[in-house]
Structure 1
Amino acid sequence: MGESQRRKATDPNYGKPITQLKGLVVSPPMHVNGNSVFIKQADLDTQDLRSSLLYWDRLAIPTTNALRIEAGKDEKYLQDCGILKRNEVSSNGNISDMLISAQALTLQHLELETPGMWSLGGGENSLLVMGGMTTPDQGSLLQLFNALPVPKENTPLADILEFKTKRQPELQALREYIEQLSKEITSSSDSVDALNEKLGLLDTACSDLIKTTREYQLPFYLSNLNASLNFDYKNLAVAASTWASTEHLGLNFTSKTIATITATAASMISLKSDIKFRPISRPTSPFKYVYHAQKYLG
């Protein structure tokens, strides 16, 4: 029995339509450190774009009077598909301040239009900001290690869109369980059982999605994911008690699934202190996601 048939037979939510689209604010690889700006390339990073496209329904690029970059081939294709748009904002100051403001203002604007739909992309292959509109040690970082498949950098965008259409339930479940776990961490609940239940659902969703990639001929990497929350988990008894004895918790189903494909490190999840993003107040769902491709799932 194929993975889709198994899920259809066992999951009552399988095949139900997505109730809310999710979007990600993406940027070309640019590093901002104080007044210094380093632009690695003008186009969106091919790997990050494909990772973002797989897991997000809509993408937005901040544009500002500080810097105008022509659209590349991939960007034009996704614009024609109605998936990617440019969000133009006006800001003042030096170029580094304007770039940081453009990203923050874009998220704020989109958040007002559709609360909870949009998050930031970031990291080495996107807009990487040292400092800026953040407060250290007041947020939390949810990390998934060796847990998510992402398309390789040369995968045709049309193939990714076809995969998404056919595997929407698995992709939706994974995204939903990440948000459920985030909400459980930041809720006032003191139930360790409830938190462990959400961890188990996320573990199963990661495992299921990796299994579905084996039914296709598309090349995938195994990746890590960082999800940043505007909440300090150390104040919560349930999160503190669950993560107190170890820095990492194992994702057992995902590890077993990967072991049948390739030899790699175990899949794990961790929670630790991170920055807080001051311009928005949204503690119960991640405001920022960062992918990092690790190993080819051959």
Structure 2
Amino acid sequence: MNKKGIVVSPPFKPLYTGGISCGGGPDPVELRKYLTYWDEIDYPSNMLIHISSPDIDFLENSGKLKRTHVVFEGRVNSGRGEFFIQAQEAAFRKNQENEPGCWTIAQLADIPFYTKQNENIGVEVELYDMLPVPSADTALADILEFKEKRKDELSAFRFHMDDINEKILNSKDVPRARNTQVARLELALKDIDKTLNESGIKRVTTHLKNIINADFSGIAGAGLGSAGLSSVVGMSPLVAGVAGAGLVFGVKSLIMPSNQCPSEYSYINSIRKNFR
């Protein structure tokens, strides 16, 4: 399987007046999620403000996280936080140039934001309450050891999740998920949960949410208002008593990047709470 890298932004909130409010290091659970399921993290730095944390420094020293340093040319709008996103987009383009097809982006926010963006009918895919992730206090060294020992289980999950996303992207439709696809994905997740438990790693059950950056306006019924269309493919939850676990597909009006950030997928935070 090809390398999977992800360019992660600092946490932020879009402002109604324009721009973003940005500050602080990444949420420990979100960082551990991307560390567990991706091969390499890029947490870009820039010439204006340097944001770091002990976790970031540890991963950089271990070689599992890099910090593409972005030097802006010309005028930079620094008054509303946009330069953090500008740095993320520049780092993504550089990584894609060096390793085509291996990189995507993650924004630590509920709503995406880009330096140049538009609104289209798109698809959100959310793995709801089915993603086992090491807890916030799990030592990063323990996660790195787990990844080394359990490459096959992690690769199986990524393969089945990517397969679902790619089928949607290539067909420009949200087909009914086949029972076999869902069953394989569910089995891969349960294998990871089991091996995390056997390794003595405390974990939480969280979510993985991404936007497929393509025009899906041709889907029947996609223009039926802001709520759009949604469907849920249920799974057996990893935590007893959790209702509604599974894959959630939503077709609705979404913010997408223009050509300056040509990522097929953008990962964002879920508004749902973690369990366990």
> Please, what TM-score do these two structures have when normalized by structure 1?
0.76
Q: 1:197 offset after TM fit, Å?
A: 4.0
1:75 alignment partner in structure 2? 56
Of 169, 191, 198, 1:208 maps to: 191
1:28 alignment partner in structure 2? 10
Mapped partners of 2:234, 2:190: distance in 1: 9
2:241 alignment partner in structure 1? 263
Matched, 1:157 2:140: yes
Mapped partners of 1:78, 1:147: distance in 2: 26
Mapped partners of 2:48, 2:202: distance in 1: 37
- Conserved 8 A contact 2:113-2:255: no
> Aligned residues, how many?
263
SS at match of 2:88: helix
Distance 1:282 1:146, change over 3 A: same
1:135 alignment partner in structure 2? 118
Mapped partners of 2:128, 2:134: distance in 1: 17
Mapped partners of 1:123, 1:197: distance in 2: 32
SS at match of 1:150: strand
The one-letter code sitting in structure 2 at the alignment partner of 1:201 is R
Distance 1:290 1:178, change over 3 A: farther
Matched, 1:171 2:154: yes
Identity fraction in percent: 26
Q: 1:28 offset after TM fit, Å?
A: 2.9
The one-letter code sitting in structure 2 at the alignment partner of 1:20 is N
The one-letter code sitting in structure 2 at the alignment partner of 1:277 is P
Mapped partners of 1:196, 1:149: distance in 2: 22
1:32-111 pair list within 5 angstroms: 32-33=14-15, 37-41=20-24, 43-69=25-51, 71-91=52-72, 92-95=75-78, 96-111=81-96
SS at match of 1:175: helix
Matched, 1:294 2:273: yes
Give 5+ residue unaligned stretches, structure 2: 223-228
Q: 1:193 offset after TM fit, Å?
A: 7.3
Q: 1:129 offset after TM fit, Å?
A: 5.1
Give 5+ residue unaligned stretches, structure 1: 1-18, 240-245
Mapped partners of 1:248, 1:192: distance in 2: 10
Distance 1:138 1:101, change over 3 A: farther
Distance 1:22 1:289, change over 3 A: farther
- Conserved 8 A contact 1:221-1:294: no
Distance 1:80 1:223, change over 3 A: same
Structure 1 or 2: more helix by fraction: 1
1:222 alignment partner in structure 2? 205
Mapped partners of 1:264, 1:76: distance in 2: 35
Mapped partners of 1:78, 1:212: distance in 2: 22
Q: 1:110 offset after TM fit, Å?
A: 0.8
The C-alpha deviation readout for 1:181-223, integer Å capped at 9, x for no partner, is: 1111122498957755433332332233223333232111111
SS at match of 1:214: helix
Mapped partners of 2:19, 2:210: distance in 1: 26
- Conserved 8 A contact 2:8-2:43: yes
2:225 alignment partner in structure 1? none
Mapped partners of 2:145, 2:61: distance in 1: 16
Mapped partners of 1:233, 1:200: distance in 2: 26
